[in-house]
Structure 1
């Protein structure tokens, strides 16, 4: 059975068929899904989703591009959400320098604060890092994030950067990008990294793998990702599924 470690089923892309799709997960071999907050609003809807679906767990947090909405009052609200049932991680949090807003200083401030939140809640973290490799790693080391454990979502950096995170005990989230013909660097990382340090993810509704690239993504596409990893590493598909399932259970403390 597949463990989907990162999806956004609260997204409006699922408004027309959310219940139908999610109710079909088990019959399609999806055992668990972690729905990941990316804003205050999506954190709230994530909390509601995990109450409704027995196979779904949640992560609460504010994506770096949404950190301008944070203040001390709603940060306290985030703290309270950590105590909700079936919340298993803080995320997705981190840095994103692809866009000019919000300012780097704002992103860094709330990245550090949400790392503090994870320490207080004793929860692992889901890290978003885009065009911010150096700052993300240096802040995580400065804040002693190796004490937290977690996953680098949608990993897109070099093999050397992968090694840094492996040395910190982190998992790498591998998604649909690994199926793209221009994903040479990621394929080199997948070849290098042990399966014991990988999680399967889709980032649904984004980043659909080949052959569904450009369409709305869902957890039902994970077999394409797992098959691509299996081919790169010359490992049996079922072994990829089983090991990554165990990895996710361990990280998110799901027995």
Structure 2
């Protein structure tokens, strides 16, 4: 069964083309590659042009980079979306784990990206860390796109699953949550509606435990080809046949990102 990595930063690896070859060998048929700032949108675009049947580009301004934006950032984002009309928006969001930039400055770039996703009816990938209340407030202030949004590497509670599902959320599981100290996150994912669950690596970040690293990289980086081992282990934890589990997650990803 061909898997799809719903969220990574493949362009940040030293040799993305070699990584794609390894992903294909591991049974992965595609990935959504997310830009995070004006500085890397062109790198995502270049990768998508070289691998149009494998790389599905996403362009967004990450909350960590909100204070480094240029005055024309939103128009620049629009231009990349014009160039890639089947792209998605992301990653963007809110983060109270960092002290800088301030939450209000993060909101100043997050709300226009929600509005742009709604305006163009594009899939939207959201980063949220220690900011669940402000995120619910933002989604009330600026309605999400009709097709909903993805909370990538969702690390919240079962109660938050219910709250965000009402807004149209999808939830992607990262192999980082297979670490024993993250066991409570597995409980939350057991409450995710079956048609809302996606799989991701967030590569080169969020590496899984060592026993699920099939493609090691230097400096603890996470290879996106590790997705296959992550998916097998999650199916086991959910007590589901791997083929059925993988097929459902892949179809959920195709449906959300409109990859048919």
- The verdict on a shared fold, with TM-score over 0.5 as the criterion, is yes
Cα distance, 1:122 vs. partner?
Answer: 1.8
1:39 is matched with which residue: 27, 37, 40? 37
Task: String of CA shifts for 1:148-200, please: whole Å, max 9, x gaps.
Answer: 41210110011100111222222101001221111122110122223321110
User: What is the aligned partner in structure 2 of residue 145 from structure 1?
Assistant: 144
2:220 is matched with which residue: 206, 215, 219? 215
**4+ residue segments displaced more than 6 Å:** none
Aligned length: 252
Change (3 A) 1:216 1:86: farther
User: What is the aligned partner in structure 2 of residue 230 from structure 1?
Assistant: 235
Distance (whole Å) between structure 2 residues aligned to residue 134 and residue 148 of structure 1:
22
| Aligned 1:140-179 pairs, distance under 5 A | 140-145=139-144, 147-179=146-178
| Aligned 1:14-33 pairs, distance under 5 A | 14-15=13-14, 17-33=15-31
Distance (whole Å) between structure 2 residues aligned to residue 156 and residue 248 of structure 1:
19
Query: Are 2:59 and 2:77, in contact at CA under 8 Å, matched by a contact in 1?
Result: yes
Query: Are 2:122 and 2:145, in contact at CA under 8 Å, matched by a contact in 1?
Result: no
Cα distance, 1:86 vs. partner?
Answer: 6.2
Q: Give SS of 2:83's match.
A: coil
What is the alpha-carbon root mean square deviation over aligned residues? 1.7
Comparing 194-203 with 141-150, greater Cα deviation is found at 141-150
Query: Are 1:118 and 1:125, in contact at CA under 8 Å, matched by a contact in 2?
Result: yes
Q: TM-score, length-normalised on structure 2?
A: 0.91
User: What is the aligned partner in structure 2 of residue 240 from structure 1?
Assistant: 245
Q: TM-score, length-normalised on structure 1?
A: 0.93
Matched, 1:133 2:138: no
Unaligned runs of 5+ in 1: none
Distance (whole Å) between structure 1 residues aligned to residue 166 and residue 231 of structure 2:
24
| Aligned 1:107-122 pairs, distance under 5 A | 107-122=106-121
Query: Are 1:190 and 1:229, in contact at CA under 8 Å, matched by a contact in 2?
Result: no
Q: Give SS of 2:190's match.
A: helix
Q: Give SS of 1:254's match.
A: coil
